[in-house]
Amino acid sequence: LVGGVVRGVGSSKGGGVGVGVGVGVGRRAFGGFGGGFGGGVGGGGVGTQAFRLLALPNVLAFGAWQFASATDDWRLQRLFMDNFFCSELALHQGRVWTFVTAPFMHTGAMHFLFNMVCLHSFVANVAYLRGEAFAVALCVVGGVASCVAHVGWEAAQRHRRDLARPRFFRGA
């Protein structure tokens, strides 16, 4: 089956049952959330350890950000803004670690939930095909690459805006 929809039901050693909808390529079916490879919510299927390893810093950062916002703790909010948000300014100030920490930061509940659902589905499928270590490495490298792309886009847009200003205001 190439490009078709495959529905899969799988079970796992942990007793969980996962029902997934995904696309089929060749003989393998890439399941959706819950995965056609087992390890539905509460299960112990392929990719579970990798998902937990990647989800933990996401959950901790989201919980701490929500706490800082709910208590209006500006010092904790500033700590997060300085260390968990990648930007051109952070790069110029030498805070290169934000390229690794930013992918774990989610400020809104819907953003956080959507990312966790996608992460679960993605990690389960990549771990099934290439192994859990590869899935974790791919997610971390992908997160860093997304930050690099974001900062590059930010710099390009700033440059475009600067060129649109009259020469007098550009400082040249």
Instruction: Classify strands 17-25 and 28-30 as parallel, antiparallel or unpaired.
Output: antiparallel
Determine, yes or no, domain membership for 125. yes
Q: Of 121, 17, 16, 19, which Cα lies nearest the Cα of 6?
A: 19
Determine, yes or no, domain membership for 20. no
- Count of the separate structural domains present in the chain: 1
Instruction: Classify strands 2-11 and 17-25 as parallel, antiparallel or unpaired.
Output: antiparallel
Determine, yes or no, domain membership for 88. yes
Determine, yes or no, domain membership for 151. yes
Give the bridge partners for 6, in sequence order. 22
The predicted pLDDT at position 169 comes to 67
Determine, yes or no, domain membership for 78. yes
Determine, yes or no, domain membership for 38. no
Q: pLDDT digits over 92-113, tens only?
A: 999 999 999 999 998 899 999 9
Q: What is the pLDDT along the chain (172 residues), one digit of tens a residue?
A: 334 434 444 444 444 434 343 443 444 444 444 444 444 444 567 788 999 999 999 999 999 999 999 999 999 999 999 999 999 999 999 999 999 999 999 889 999 999 999 999 999 999 999 999 999 999 999 999 999 999 999 999 999 988 887 777 666 5
The predicted pLDDT at position 35 comes to 43
Show the domain range for 59.
49-164
- Answering whether pTM is above 0.75, one says no
The predicted pLDDT at position 141 comes to 96
Determine, yes or no, domain membership for 18. no
Q: Of 62, 75, 74, 53, which Cα lies nearest the Cα of 123?
A: 53
User: 């600067």: which residue's tokens?
Assistant: 162
Determine, yes or no, domain membership for 10. no
**108, two tokens:** 């809104």
